[in-house]
Amino acid sequence: MRVVIAEDLALLRDGLIRLLSAYGFTVAAAVETGEALREALLEHRPDVAVVDVRLPPTFTDEGLRAAIAARAEAPGLPVLVLSQHVEQLYARELLSDRRGGVGYLLKDRVATVGEFVDAVRRVAGGGTAMDPEVVSQLLARSAPIAALTPREREVLGLMAEGRSNAAIAARLFVTDKAVGKHINNIFAKLGLPQSEDDNRRVLAVLAYLRL
């Protein structure tokens, strides 16, 4: 599985190269600027890209903009954002694109190497990997989200990670039936179609981010 890495910090970039190589990935390119990222993505067409948001020269949102630009030319190109920041405007644009895998993880909230590698593989396979904190920040200014209870927000965040009802129940120490009830309430309050398919549930969450 081929991967392109975009990270401006040399030590972290080298660490990602070594880590992903150790888990069977082939690093096609490792770059440190937005322009270099766009060029590498279009040249190599990797199975997945691991992208920091803030890259030289301005350290604002070059990474995200480069990923979005590359996906415009190569629709469905899987992108996993790995950053310390939630850039709301371009994050919404990236995550609302249903073509191909997408993900957004916060560096300081990735608990284990296994969790990170699983997220990379999930996005490469066309799935979604979302940090609940990212979902929370993106939805914070949307009026319908105010109608959700704290528990429903928690369930929504776990849904966005791609977890099944059983996995959510185990995480929250509640029954599957209780989780199902929360999910039905979430879709009803947000005006989203109900579905038992986990991937479609995540797509529904991401589609809502465009509102």
Q: What is the mean pLDDT of each run of 10 residues along the chain (211 residues)?
A: 96 96 97 94 96 88 90 91 82 72 89 92 89 74 69 82 85 92 83 56 57 47
Select the CATH number that applies to the domain covering 132-211 from these four: 3.90.1150.10, 3.10.25.10, 3.30.110.60, 1.10.10.10: 1.10.10.10
Q: What angle do CA 101, 106, 110 make, to 5 degrees?
A: 95
Instruction: Identify the pLDDT of residue 211.
Output: 47
Instruction: Identify the pLDDT of residue 78.
Output: 94
**What is 1-130's CATH topology?**
Rossmann fold (3.40.50)
Q: How far, in Å, CA of 81 to CA of 51, rounded?
A: 5
**CB of 48 within 8 A of CB of 3?**
yes
**CB of 69 within 8 A of CB of 90?**
no
pTM as predicted: 0.71
Start-end of CATH 1.10.10.10 domains in the chain: 132-211
Q: How far, in Å, CA of 111 to CA of 129, rounded?
A: 14
Interior/surface letters 63-72, b for 16+ CB within 10 angstroms, e for the rest: bbbbbbbbbe
Q: How far, in Å, CA of 86 to CA of 105, rounded?
A: 9
Q: How far, in Å, CA of 137 to CA of 16, rounded?
A: 26
Instruction: Identify the pLDDT of residue 201.
Output: 65
Helices and strands in the chain, H and E counts: 10, 6
Q: How far, in Å, CA of 35 to CA of 66, rounded?
A: 7
Start-end of CATH 3.40.50.2300 domains in the chain: 1-130
